Structure 1
Amino acid sequence: MRLILLALSLFAAWPVQAASPELLASLDALFARRADASAAKELEASLKKELQASAEDYELIWRSARLLAWQGDVAQDSRLKKVLGKQAWDMCERGVKLAPERVECQYFAAVGIGTYSQAVGIMKALKEGLEGKFNERLDAAIRINADFDLGAPLVVKARYHYELPWPKRDLSESTKLLEKAAAKFPQNLRTHYYLAETLLAADKAQKAKEAILKVKQGSGAYNPAEAQLIQERAKKVEAEIEEELK
């Protein structure tokens, strides 16, 4: 009887999953092609449809948040960025309740909070008390799996230390975390891009140049949409570094 009750309790604690492996593979393939507007639109429609049928499916929830986080990252309008950040955050709060020991929703909730904070302004976000909520989710992601998505939790933590206003800003800690992530996942171009910006802000333009060259010359095979975005953004930083080195 005890074994039966234990099995039932474990089953009840496990997140509901209705999506088939084939469906999830299809969604992941569309996400890989998200730089193509038609693929992104198809993915958004598919996720919306599947979530309407299976609102408590953790695998669908975190994939939906992943898309929202990406859309928020590339959004140019601050109002849209704010909305998308909040949607990713809210979506993953549902996921955290379903599976608190899974890394995906802990991570994308933090990303959503970060995107929202960027949109409303860091000072306002600090006044709203979002720093604690952000760190709660991100630190949980780091604890669960710091290597998730090529070290993304550490990269976001490093960026947090970079973007904070003085006197909270900590370029040394940001550099340390980015160098750690870059050593383990050198293919992640965002890590090198953020490292270049951090080093430039720390008056280390020559080292910043070395980092930005890794972005410029790096392969995008690991994540074509991400690499294309980061290499385009890196052009501005490269120009700033060259200006500083004159």
Structure 2
Amino acid sequence: MRLILLALCLLVAGSARAADAEVWARLDALHASRADAAAVKELEAELKKALTATPDDFELVWRQARLLQWQADGAGNEKLKKVLGRQTWDVSEKAIKLAPARVEGHYYAATGIGAYSQAVGVMKALGEGLEGKFNERVDTAIKIDPTFNWSAPLLVKGRYFYELPWPKRDLKKSAEYYEKAIKKHPEMLRAHYFLAETLLKDDKAKEARDAIQKVKQGSVAYDPPEGQRIQEWAKKVEADIEEELK
């Protein structure tokens, strides 16, 4: 009888894991199509439904943070970016509590704090004591897995040194983090885009032009919505570089 009960428990557990895997795969497929508004709407609905059933499922929680981060990153105004950045941060903190040894919660928490800080202004964010919170989370993400999401934790840290006001800004360190990411994932267009901005600010317009050309000519196959967003953003940076080179 005990063996039968054990077998039934294992069968139920195995079925649950299979069902969970199907849900996660569905969410990932929708996320891959997030440039389409209809896909985002469906993704939001699927996440809401799944989280209502199992609100403490780490795999669902970090995927919710991932979507919020994407929306915060592309927010059209500072008010919306502030709200979405805060939501990303809050959801990510829950992910950290659920699985502190996993990289996702720490990484998305850092991006949420970053988006929020950009929206309210870096000086105000520093005044609110967010620098330490940001660094704690991004440094933990780098320690756990610096290559996560095409070395995105390294990009976030590099952007930190770019965004800081003088005298804390360190463009050399900023570029070093991007170059580490590029060495590991040369296909990641955001790394080249961020590097171009850093080089331009560091009065290295010719090098910045080389970096932005890699964005223009690069393939978006690794993540089409992300790559297309960056190539669109690169147009203004390229114009700024050419203006500097006149």
| TM-score with structure 1 setting the length | 0.92
Q: Give 1:83's aligned residue.
A: 83
2: CA distance, partners of 1:51 / 1:84: 18
Task: Report the identity percentage.
Answer: 65
Instruction: Look up the equivalent residue of 1:195 and give its one-letter code.
Output: L
Q: Give 2:63's aligned residue.
A: 63
1: CA distance, partners of 2:97 / 2:126: 25
1: CA distance, partners of 2:149 / 2:39: 21
Any residues of structure 2 matched to 1:126-205 within 5 Å, and which? Answer: 126-205=126-205
Conserved in 2, the CA contact under 8 Å of 1:81 and 1:115?
Answer: yes
Conserved in 2, the CA contact under 8 Å of 1:19 and 1:60?
Answer: no
Any residues of structure 2 matched to 1:27-66 within 5 Å, and which? Answer: 27-66=27-66
Report deviation, 1:184.
1.1
Misfit runs of 4+, over 2 Å: none
Report deviation, 1:150.
0.6
5+ residue gaps, structure 1: 1-16
Report deviation, 1:98.
1.0
Any residues of structure 2 matched to 1:207-222 within 5 Å, and which? Answer: 207-222=207-222
Q: RMSD of aligned C-alpha atoms?
A: 1.0
| TM-score with structure 2 setting the length | 0.92
Instruction: Look up the equivalent residue of 1:107 and give its one-letter code.
Output: Y
Q: Secondary structure, in 3 states, of the residue corresponding to 2:24?
A: helix
2: CA distance, partners of 1:18 / 1:136: 35
Aligned residues: 230
Q: Secondary structure, in 3 states, of the residue corresponding to 1:20?
A: helix
Q: Tell which structure's C-alpha radius of gyration is larger.
A: 2
Q: Secondary structure, in 3 states, of the residue corresponding to 2:179?
A: helix
Conserved in 2, the CA contact under 8 Å of 1:196 and 1:209?
Answer: yes
5+ residue gaps, structure 2: 1-16
Report deviation, 1:18.
9.5
Conserved in 2, the CA contact under 8 Å of 1:35 and 1:225?
Answer: yes
